[in-house]
Amino acid sequence: MLTALLIAVLVLVIGALIVFVDTTQSPLPQTSGVAEVPGLRAQVEILRDARGVPHIYASNTHDLFYAQGYVQAQDRWWQMERMLLVNRFDCVLALIPLPLLPNADA
């Protein structure tokens, strides 16, 4: 019982450390400058206001939606990384047998 508890605590500490390192090292969105993005048909301008809200100006709908996806992926990169980390952590937990819960059949 004590060994299982120590393993659980160790897994939680390692998981917290991974989340901390990943959070502090994750890339921030590019909010200024010029980006060469393949797939655009014409020039697109993305301006951010004082609150960081993007305003997209494009000459056609294809480029507008492409730029919207690009901006959303930049802004939500942390969320995609977090979901990947959660899924990896769930896989690790599934491999470790933790008999910490009482047997409901007893």
pLDDT surpassing 60 at residue 106? no
Residue by residue, DSSP assigns 45-93 as EEEE-TT--EEEE-SSHHHHHHHHHHHHHHHTHHHHHHHHHHHHHHHHH
Is pTM beyond 0.75? Reply is no
Q: Point out the least confidently predicted range of 8-22, 53-67, 72-86.
A: 72-86
Q: What's the pLDDT score for residue 54?
A: 92
